[in-house]
Amino acid sequence: MSAPDRERAISALHALDPGVDREQWVRIGMSAKDAGVSLADFDTWSSRATNYSGERDVAQVWKSFNGDGVKAATLYGMAIDAGWKDPAKQRHNGHSKRQAITLTASPIRPQKTPHKAVKSVSELWAHFAPATSEHPYIIAKRGRADGLRVVPAADGLSIAGQSVAGWLVVPALSLDGELRSMQFIPPPGIGKKLNMPGASFDDGLFVVGNLAESARAFILEGIGQTWACWQATGCAAVVTFGSGRMSAVAEILRRRFPALPLVLVADRGKEVQCSEIARAIGGAWAEMPTSKPSNFDCNDYAAEYGADELAELLDKPKAPARRYLMLSAFDLLNAPPLRWLVRGVMPMHGLACMYGASGSGKSFLALDLCAAVADGAEWFCCHVTAAPVVYIALEGEHGFRQRVDAWQVHHGRDLPAGLRFVMQPFDLRNADDLRELADSVTASGAAGGLLVLDTLSRASGAADENSSKDMGEIVSAAAALQSKLGGTVLLIHHTGKDATKGLRGHSSLFAALDSAIEVARTDDRRAWRIAKSKDDSDSAAHSFRLAVVEIGADEHGDALTSCIVELDEDAGEAVRSVRLPRGGNQKAVFDVAAELLRDGKHMGEGGAPATRPCVRLDDLIAGCRGRLAVENDRVPERVRLAVTGLVNGGCVKLKDGWIWMP
């Protein structure tokens, strides 16, 4: 595209008002791109608007224009309707009369490089006269002229066809005093504020008062509101040049003055925006009365009620709830005690996990736990607080139904009404699934209770459990679900190929848990223990067995069965107090011993009952080679240490070189 054609397109663009609504702004952008306008030119034009949302937003929208939308003719048509004179037609007709001076066609037009753009701003600023208190805008807003200038009355300067002669000029300065851009403000009733084309605000702002000596700083959209706050409180007040820049300016101030209290003062209708910014920077915000119309600001408030009333309103800003509370020792000692859903096992609020190898019985145990919580019944001698339960069953719908049937047949009654089930697919990392599940749970009245995801792998889609990134996303999603619903989220999960390492997948999962229940199986013996608890309590193993229950017959007359959880009464107190293996080596040695004992080559040796399988200690040492993370010459020592721990914990018996399970 030739330079004259590009200049023609830019000229047409600057004849239009960039402060239009977003739909019209996008329409103008599409036609401008088709006409040959560059992204930099479009951003320069857009930055003049008070609703300018920043270079990043402009660039993202610009990128979406693919040439299939509005064409260049639309740009020229809109510009002509706005009073634009097409220079191409003037050249064709032989006219050479120079038009009124505009920033886009004058010698001071900003260049592409930031250095030259800033230089143009500085040269123009130097050309303006210092403002006085007699300026109509300063009088109307009860302001002050300090630091401001005025475009000379005889100046031919215009922006987008609008003469700015006699307009007030507010500089946008960095905190180090470097001039970035300017805002032109007309006398009341003449028009809207205009920003200087071609110069980005960047880190520019304007301060009324002294930030370094102020007890707090107020952050506001325009100069009029800023004057009102400073006059009412005596505290520094900062102009952001539009609501779209409040966040950026607040962050700049927070970085430079980390201890300075910052208060965003919202125009009516901007309360949510200001509260979110305040939360992000650790500040506060002040609001205008809800009875006032949209865009009512603090300058309007001061005019109606007086500076003293405004000072009182600003003295009581709102602050977001703080996540971190500073507690004294007295506060700590008098805090309410930890509340339990299942005493010593699962907290009333948090993220928990029940995990074990396939076939360990963890899903049967989870269903039994859920029935106890929904019923408020004691569970394995632990006190239970009744709460609603939602069980998300993602593995084997038919088999799960049989488990429910078996529970009801065995207990001779229906499951508690407070226990609900969801059988449809669910993905933790799908935002829609997360939102819709939370909505359904809340609508059912089960929020604040226990939510079970069985299993975590089925609820994680195609995520890589060993990836720190993927597991981080899974944990964050589970935590978000818990935060949205309250109560406790219980994840049912597997151990990895090496059961000694606990939970399958990245270690960040275990770190994020408030409670973890490990389920283990050796032959027909099963037990669970607390692997992690909020009160750091240690846990003895709780033995249980799966009892087979006949629930009917199939179409061929064969019995249909499932299992229910029962306390292992035959184990006695000694067995129920047995601790499961602790530590990597103990677990590895225990697993190898279980494998060898299953072969049953030797019975009743070393004082074991006649029907009890036994294994030689030397054979156990040989079987552990390659299974422990040590050199081969250190395996015997490590196995003997692990066996000693297992014997002390009651997991195995050792006599005369023979090992067996008690």
> Is the domain of 572 the same as that of 589?
no
Q: What is the pLDDT of residue 582?
A: 64
Residue 333 lies in a domain: no
Q: What is the pLDDT of residue 200?
A: 86
> Is the domain of 269 the same as that of 179?
no
- Domain edge (last residue) among 153, 173, 195: 195
Least confidently predicted of 6-15, 89-98, 259-268, 346-355: 89-98
> Is the domain of 470 the same as that of 542?
yes
| pLDDT tens per residue, range 479-535 | 999 999 999 999 999 887 655 567 888 888 988 999 999 998 876 678 898 888 876
| pLDDT tens per residue, range 236-246 | 999 999 988 99
- pLDDT level of residue 408 (50, 70, 90 thresholds): very high
CA distance 343 to 338: 10
- Domain edge (last residue) among 576, 594, 626: 576
> Is the domain of 38 the same as that of 187?
no
CATH of the domain at 648: 1.10.10
Query: Averaged over 643-662, what is the pLDDT?
Result: 84
CA distance 115 to 591: 71
Q: What is the pLDDT of residue 115?
A: 36
- More reliable by pLDDT, 247 or 50: 247
> Is the domain of 24 the same as that of 168?
no
CA distance 659 to 662: 10
- pLDDT level of residue 438 (50, 70, 90 thresholds): very high
> Is the domain of 537 the same as that of 554?
yes
Residue 501 lies in a domain: yes
Residue 220 has pLDDT above 80, yes or no: yes
Q: What domain count does the chain have?
A: 5
CA distance 369 to 483: 22
Mean pLDDT of the chain: 85
| pLDDT tens per residue, range 278-303 | 999 989 999 999 999 999 999 999 99
Residue 100 lies in a domain: no
CA distance 176 to 625: 69
Residue 162 lies in a domain: yes
- More reliable by pLDDT, 660 or 326: 660
CATH of the domain at 344: 3.40.50.300
Query: Averaged over 392-401, what is the pLDDT?
Result: 82
> Is the domain of 362 the same as that of 475?
yes
| pLDDT tens per residue, range 578-618 | 456 666 788 888 888 888 888 778 888 888 888 788 999 99
- More reliable by pLDDT, 462 or 175: 175
Q: What is the pLDDT of residue 296?
A: 93
Least confidently predicted of 188-202, 256-270, 421-435, 527-541: 527-541
> Is the domain of 384 the same as that of 434?
yes
Tokens standing for 83? 């009073």
Residue 98 lies in a domain: no
Q: What is the dihedral of CA 438, 442, 444, 450, to 10 degrees?
A: 80
Query: Averaged over 541-545, what is the pLDDT?
Result: 85
What pTM did the predictor assign?
A: 0.45
| pLDDT tens per residue, range 124-164 | 999 999 999 999 999 999 999 999 999 998 888 888 888 99
Residue 547 lies in a domain: yes
- Domain edge (last residue) among 146, 172, 195: 195
Query: Averaged over 400-426, what is the pLDDT?
Result: 92
Q: What is the pLDDT of residue 135?
A: 93
Percent of the chain with pLDDT over 90: 44
Q: What is the pLDDT of residue 109?
A: 37
CATH of the domain at 252: 3.40.1360.10
Q: What is the pLDDT of residue 437?
A: 95
Query: Averaged over 357-371, what is the pLDDT?
Result: 91
User: Which residue has tokens 């509101």?
Assistant: 225
Q: What is the pLDDT of residue 225?
A: 95
Tokens standing for 154? 């005889």
Least confidently predicted of 95-109, 211-225, 597-611: 95-109
Q: What is the domain range of residue 395?
A: 340-576
- pLDDT level of residue 116 (50, 70, 90 thresholds): very low
Residue 102 lies in a domain: no
CA distance 525 to 597: 13
Q: Which of 5-9, 392-396, 417-421, 568-572 is modeled with the greatest confidence?
A: 417-421
Residue 368 has pLDDT above 70, yes or no: yes
Query: Averaged over 335-355, what is the pLDDT?
Result: 88
> Is the domain of 167 the same as that of 212?
no
Residue 334 lies in a domain: no
Residue 72 has pLDDT above 90, yes or no: no
Q: How far is CA 503 from CA 474, 532, 536, in A?
A: 14, 12, 18
> Is the domain of 285 the same as that of 410?
no
Report the DSSP pairing between strands 350-356 and 488-494.
parallel
Q: What is the pLDDT of residue 540?
A: 67
> Is the domain of 442 the same as that of 566?
yes
Query: Averaged over 22-46, what is the pLDDT?
Result: 86
Residue 568 has pLDDT above 80, yes or no: no
Cα 552 from chain centroid? 49
Residue 310 has pLDDT above 60, yes or no: yes
CA distance 572 to 568: 8
Q: What is the pLDDT of residue 90?
A: 53
> Is the domain of 472 the same as that of 555?
yes
